[in-house]
Structure 1
């Protein structure tokens, strides 16, 4: 097989879905994205250099039905801000922790909750695991809970005062009660319900039978950090990535710890020039430099 045949085969090879998704995320200029119902077995990561994102996932064990699954897509330039790579608690929960300026941190959770028709025991196990994850987060950390909760939280802000705002959609269901109860327990607020906007920018999930859009995917933060959330809304057009859900976008004001040159370390760095006062050391340095230059630029290279 010649080189041309190999090149033609590479050109005809189907593009990885992660590459397509990475390009879409790059177009939207998103830093961290929670992924739900990935249906990828095991736990792993994949870097899409061309798209500029690294994907992390946690699914069920290999040789088991490929269902559920959660993950993250993180912009490559932000990987250095992570305290460690994302960790999967189970096939429905995954966490990562960000370094913020001022020696502060933010813990992000990607979640995929059971559907309304799931068994009660399955729901109890999910919310017990979520409760464990939230309890383990240091009180000083910011919390950002993202994902598909398969729940409708409704718009009764009088009953759920401080947990949802006045811009909710539809009526609450049993899964919504479970989610809001957990939010009350950990003093969290559903940011999707805080902002007044066009109705088509609110509900991100489409019912498989009725084809009606419902509010099922949420971005949830601590109540004390509500002021840091500038906007939460759905992104129209993002449902093209093999999903019946629109991407939910939130702009959150946080100062991520950036890479800085260590000025103190540079100031401490000194060269021992005193050793060059010795003639033998000076000749040895000249010889090493001459050999290095000859290797890099051979005499007949021009």
Structure 2
């Protein structure tokens, strides 16, 4: 008798209960027993743990203590083996029931509500004469789901934004975040459609096409209007970011009012420019770093009571972090790198009192 039991981490163990022939049995019986046992062992998967009653063949991790005990009869090759085994039996997985949620808000429409009520009442009258209560409920439950689909109660309102709206971001979560070559793999790479970026009270919409942006603006404004809100176009700005200047300029409207198109704006402390350059952002970080250095010069960098390593730690924590804020997304040229290196050298010269 054999039994294959699933273990944890995708492993299995095959338990075989075999009763060997006695020493007094004829040779043909013994040969038949060992042939049957060999066939059973050959049929076991090669990655399975094997537990053979009377013999053991497994990893030392599962078998903790094993003892061989001799019986009272000396002239015998039988031994009683006792062992302690540590096995993790995998629990039986239950299949999750995927049920669609009912969009009961559509019942607020009097026409839909009246149609659904009439269908349910008709179904109840048809199955009222059923043999038992279980059969009645089974028919009624089936009809309820059917009428829910027919009256558009179960169908959620489809998204008007479209499945390809926004921008597509490819990513993988198995390490090496900045190794872009790993994103060309055919496996383990996920793609996410991003339409909106939210941070505190900042809100940004990102798309590739002008028509998609206008569609998203219309959907958002109509959604806000349904909740009694109105989009303030004076606080909304649109940035068209492209390497080459666009041939035509699009006019974007919100509630019939035009939205201002700008050349650059600051988002989360980073200056985003329409020509995809980082010159303006680098110049802004340089000005902020010089300002921070000037505020600390008299109290820290010109203070003779502080050690050099203390001044260096303050310089790294305040000035360098301010200068390189957001540099992870910069695509710089050599001239821009030289500018940052010159700024760093000038700050060190002033800190050390060198001309």
TM over 0.5: no
Higher relative contact order (CA 8 A, sep 6+): 1
| TM-score, with length taken from structure 1 | 0.31
Instruction: Determine which structure has the larger helix proportion and give its number.
Output: 2
Instruction: Determine which structure has the larger strand proportion and give its number.
Output: 1
| TM-score, with length taken from structure 2 | 0.27
Larger Rg: 2
